[in-house]
Amino acid sequence: METRPLGDTGHDSTVMTFGAIALNWLEQEGANQLVEHVLDYGVNHFDVAPTYGDAELKLGPKLRQHREEIFLGCKTQERTYEGAWRKLDRSLNRLGVDTIDLYQVHGLEYDEELDALTGDDGALAAFREAKEQGLIDHIGLTSHGDPDLILDALDRIDDLESVMFPLNPVVAGKDDDEYDYEAVLARADEENVGTLGIKAFAAGSWPSTDELPEADRPFANWYRPVAAPGEISERFDFAAAQGLTSVVSAGDPKLVTMILEAADDYDGMDATAQRSLVERVRHDDSPVPEQLHH
């Protein structure tokens, strides 16, 4: 599988990152088998978070067995110094490892959160101490929110080494500034910051829970995903062709093999095909469906 430099980290990530939230929906034996399946395709970048149910615990056994093969990303939604330290210690214990390769601010949504985490008692102070102590190697940030906020974070956090944000053809078809993630991609490229794309496979929002209860949804994603192999493949190709370092797989384990196949077969996507896809999937709903699981 193709690899690309993750900014200045010195790591070359596979063009697909395994979103380990998928492990939360499996029993331990199934989780073990899925991790081995992903590794068999050569994927070397995994991403997990303490908010993904039991995913950290279920990733742990195979992570420890294959630690040298896996670049491990984890995150925290804590914005304070003490909270970030507490959650980092918990993740290290649950994963059973000594070091997290990429520790990320999780789900930045509001200006006041950026103020809090960059303050004297903010989470970033804990991140930096943890880096000095060798508990984490690199600092990143994830967001589903306003692209301007991510740009502001890049301005204010000079040791930020990766950003994770939504990118799909529906986003690309919007002219509104609130969906201008291409500006984030361009800035990150200028500053040699790694880029991880999420929601590449989002088809739209789920119906309301009155119309379709969460328990009845056919996929465990917080958005309604595309699910046919051809759709998965063209969505992957589109996201990877935008210049992202890596495309994060969707959260439902039933989709993982199709995404692995798409990543393994990736051979670029020309501009005409990209424009055609944008026009075909353009719709008025939000291209960045709301999260429903946290």
Summarize pLDDT for 217-264 with one digit per residue, the tens: 999 888 899 999 999 999 999 999 999 999 999 999 999 999 999 999
| CA angle (233 as vertex; 232, 235 as ends), nearest 5 | 65
Residue 271 vs residues 35, 96, 277: alpha-carbon distances, Å? 34, 44, 10
Rounded to whole angstroms, the Cα distance separating 80 from 219 reads 34
Instruction: Convert the pLDDT of each residue in 81-103 to its tens digit.
Output: 999 999 999 999 999 999 999 99
Residue 163 vs residues 143, 157, 197, 251: alpha-carbon distances, Å? 8, 11, 9, 19
| CA angle (11 as vertex; 194, 260 as ends), nearest 5 | 80
Structure tokens at 129: 């101490």
Tokens 């999260």 belong to residue: 291
Write down the pTM of the prediction: 0.95
- Percentage, residues of the chain above pLDDT 70: 98
Q: What is the pLDDT of residue 143?
A: 95
Instruction: Convert the pLDDT of each residue in 32-87 to its tens digit.
Output: 999 999 999 999 999 999 999 999 999 999 999 999 999 999 999 999 999 999 99
Structure tokens at 134: 């060798």
Rounded to whole angstroms, the Cα distance separating 70 from 63 reads 7
Structure tokens at 42: 């050569």
Q: What is the pLDDT of residue 290?
A: 66
Mean of per-residue pLDDT scores for the chain: 95
Cα 50 versus chain centre, distance: 14
